[in-house]
Amino acid sequence: MQSLVLASSSPRRAALLSEAGFEFEILPPGVAEKFNIAFTLRELTVWNAIRKGMSIAQTRPDAVVLAADTLVALNQEILGKPASLNEAAQMLRRLSGRIHEVCSAVLIYHQTSGRSTVLHDISRVRFRRLNAATIKNYLAKVDPLDKAGAYAAQGSGAELIHKRSRLADGKDNRRIGEIRHTSKNI
């Protein structure tokens, strides 16, 4: 079996793969995520995942490379990762009580064979109404600077969410089964 490389510095992505029983190496990509208003939310997350994965695949052509990107959009305005705690708090205030979309894209790529698969998933999320104390408590529990929209739906972030629904095909949001199947067959 070929080695699997996670092209990410995200502790959450590494934890998801570990929890699913994957053995993998972590190599953070040296590419900055891009935000281009000419792209849709889906296009931008797919593009970022491909750029991240390709940057690692060039150095590890015999490995199966898994790269991902997640972005949040509020009224079609894309929210990436906040640059500071103040910006994180501002994002959470903007999302409070509102519906927004979350898109994640995953690239699974083997450069030597030229085989690849891109998966994407879009969810509609409604936040609870958040007061200043709730936001302050949340920010004290997590590092929001590595999360699009300043939150993750797992762990403490679940406290912020009133309701989440899938806009794609109704499968499990994490798509671990698809990733397992594709990475073994690529």
Residues designated as active site: 69
Q: How many CB atoms lie within 10 A of CB 117?
A: 16
For residue 98, what are the contacts with CB-CB under 8 A and spacing of at least 6?
Answer: 74, 126, 127
Whether the Cβ atoms of residue 14 and residue 28 lie closer than 8 Å to each other: no
Sign of CA dihedral 155, 118, 47, 4: positive
At 145, list the tokens: 């600077």
